[in-house]
């Protein structure tokens, strides 16, 4: 059995992972004799409580305490929606066990809806042909106005069908190693106390993604999981991925690059708070996890976005692992894997691509990220440690004990250098335009944060332990879930 080197202020001694998780533990360490290619295993309990920031504000245990009448086993979208409705008592505790794959695009009669069902007559090639040198124009072809309207209507219809609203006091857990969701957004809107464990969530394909004008980026609409004004959320032993529809296989857009048909894997915004993502596999995706949607939203975000990322495996993710604004965010014992010039891992860094912006941890406006003992294995010609962090108007960041290619790395110095480069760019722009420098550019960079995690923990202390945990204990199928 797995044992923990984790104590919450008292001497628990050696604990099994199941017992320790119930106590709010953070990171598991395989027991002596465990092999790297065999997951030690841990057992799901309906009374498990979340670690990290999700342990605060009263804690997070989802539907714990649900009676037999509010415990469900579901196999399709229709059954899932009925279980979430819980006989009309949507916000009362409920536990939903998922078997097989829930298709968000499945109708009540079992049909799977696609692009032409949502918007009959929509044609992506025609849509692209309506972009001229200055961007979109209805006047380029006689069908452009119709294609624009079809795209908008199709996007609305897809949202209505595929967005699955998860209410408060809910536990969703997968049975077996193949439970999960595709073509669905797990939407947490005004939700409180939600647990999602042991499922794979394949990011929905946005058939109606938008590209505005030359030099812009694609604007896909749908996340795999989304938290909007929600509190106390725990995502654990979950696999988040583009799955069967990676963007590298998408049709080419006006810029000659594949269209981006996915948005985030787990985006958090609008004052959401007390959230933990733990023991999860995040893979084969571009923009993974964003906190706050813009620097201008401080009125909604400031004082919120307290999030922990603990013991996760980010494998072949382009950026935003996570990308933080405003929040007090703890990034602990995560393993980041990337490869230069690998189409399945399109990372860049200063030495690999001049002006490259892809990165692992993004430090945004008014963010305070505390990074501890994370391991970055980034390989290939020109790979360098600048890919580990990227400064986007942040002024504070602290790291303790992280590694790049298994060796100690000074992430604080990398962030400080990037901050200085950003300030120099702003000073040059200010000299040209006469506009004053933004507040972040005059604040100076501080390699500390002014907060301390309010929960106890003891991290894994070697790069080898962090990698072993990532490869053997993360993602769906690693959690043993007894049938109800």
How long a stretch of residues is the chain?
484
**3-state secondary structure (DSSP) of residue 417:** helix
pLDDT of residue 215: 61
pLDDT of residue 32: 27
CA distances (Å), 380 to each of 351, 357, 388, in order?
11, 17, 15
**Residue-wise DSSP of 369-411:** EEEES-EEEEESTT--GGGSEEESS--EEEEES-EETTEE--H
Q: Mean pLDDT, 10 residues at a time, over the chain (484 residues)?
A: 26 27 34 30 90 98 98 98 98 98 97 97 94 88 97 98 98 97 98 98 94 74 97 98 86 80 93 98 89 91 97 90 96 90 55 54 97 92 86 96 97 97 96 96 97 96 97 96 94
Residue 178: is the preceding peptide bond cis (ω within 30°)? no
The DSSP secondary-structure symbol of 87 reads G
**3-state secondary structure (DSSP) of residue 22:** helix
pLDDT of residue 355: 39
The DSSP secondary-structure symbol of 427 reads H
In a 10 Å sphere around its CB, with 0-12 CB exposed, 13-18 middle and 19+ buried, how is residue 302 labelled? middle
- Residue 457 Cα to chain centre, angstroms: 22
**3-state secondary structure (DSSP) of residue 7:** coil
Strand order across the 307-310 sheet: 71-74, 94-98, 170-174, 192-197, 231-236, 273-278, 307-310, 328-332, 368-372, 396-400
pLDDT of residue 217: 74
Nearest to 212 by CA among 132, 126, 267: 132
Backbone Cα Rg of the chain: 22
H helix intervals, 252-341: 298-301
Helix, strand, coil percentages, rounded to 5, for the chain: 20, 30, 50
The DSSP secondary-structure symbol of 52 reads G
308 neighbors 279 (Cβ within 8 angstroms):
no
pLDDT of residue 317: 86
d(CA 39, CA 159): 37
Q: How many CB atoms lie within 10 A of CB 326?
A: 23
pTM: 0.90
In a 10 Å sphere around its CB, with 0-12 CB exposed, 13-18 middle and 19+ buried, how is residue 458 labelled? middle
pLDDT of residue 381: 73
pLDDT of residue 152: 97
pLDDT of residue 213: 66
Mark residue 425 as left, alpha or beta (left: phi above 0; alpha: psi -120 to 50; beta: remaining): alpha
């Amino acid at each position: 059995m797995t044992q923990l080197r984790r104590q919450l202020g008292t001497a628990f001694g050696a604990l099994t992972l199941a017992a320790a998780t119930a106590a709010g533990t953070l990171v598991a360490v395989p027991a002596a004799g465990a092999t790297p290619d065999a997951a030690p295993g841990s057992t799901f309990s309906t009374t498990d409580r979340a670690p990290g920031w999700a342990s605060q504000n009263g804690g997070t245990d989802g539907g714990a305490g649900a009676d037999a009448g509010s415990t469900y086993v579901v196999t399709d979208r229709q059954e899932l929606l009925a279980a979430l409705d819980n006989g009309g008592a949507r916000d009362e505790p409920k536990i939903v066990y998922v078997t097989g794959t829930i298709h968000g695009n499945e109708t009540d009669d079992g049909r799977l809806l696609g692009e032409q069902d949502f918007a009959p007559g929509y044609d992506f090639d025609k849509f692209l042909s309506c972009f001229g040198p200055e961007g979109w124009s209805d006047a380029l072809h006689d069908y452009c106005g119709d294609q624009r309207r079809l795209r908008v209507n199709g996007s609305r219809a897809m949202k209505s069908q595929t967005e699955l609203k998860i209410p408060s006091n809910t536990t969703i857990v997968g049975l077996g190693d193949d439970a999960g969701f595709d073509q669905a957004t797990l939407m947490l809107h005004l939700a409180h106390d939600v647990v999602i464990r042991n499922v794979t969530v394949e990011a929905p394909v946005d058939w109606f993604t938008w590209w505005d004008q030359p030099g812009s980026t694609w604007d896909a609409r749908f996340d795999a999981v989304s938290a909007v004004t929600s509190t106390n959320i725990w995502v654990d032993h979950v696999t988040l991925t583009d799955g069967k529809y990676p963007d590298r296989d998408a049709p080419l857009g006006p810029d000659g690059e594949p269209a981006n048909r996915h948005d985030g894997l787990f985006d958090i915004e609008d004052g959401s708070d007390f959230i933990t993502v733990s023991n999860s596999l995040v893979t084969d995706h571009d923009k993974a996890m964003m906190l706050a949607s813009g620097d201008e939203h401080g009125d909604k975000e400031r004082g919120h976005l307290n999030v922990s990322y603990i013991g996760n495996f980010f494998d072949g993710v382009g950026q935003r692992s996570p990308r933080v604004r405003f929040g007090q965010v703890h990034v602990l014992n995560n393993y980041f894997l990337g490869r230069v010039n690998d189409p399945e891992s399109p990372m860049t860094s200063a030495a690999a691509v001049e002006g490259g912006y892809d990165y692992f941890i993004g430090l945004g406006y008014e963010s305070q990220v505390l990074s501890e003992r994370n391991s970055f294995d980034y390989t290939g010609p020109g790979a360098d440690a600048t890919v580990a962090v990227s400064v986007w108007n942040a002024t504070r960041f602290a790291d303790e004990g992280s590694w790049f290619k298994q060796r100690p790395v000074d992430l604080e110095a990398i962030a400080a250098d990037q901050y200085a480069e950003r300030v120099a760019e702003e000073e040059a722009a200010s000299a040209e335009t006469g506009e004053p420098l933004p507040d972040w550019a005059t604040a100076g960079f501080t390699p500390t944060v002014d907060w301390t995690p309010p929960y106890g923990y003891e991290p894994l202390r070697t790069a080898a332990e962090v990698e072993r945990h990532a490869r053997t204990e993360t993602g769906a199928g690693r959690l043993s879930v007894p049938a109800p």
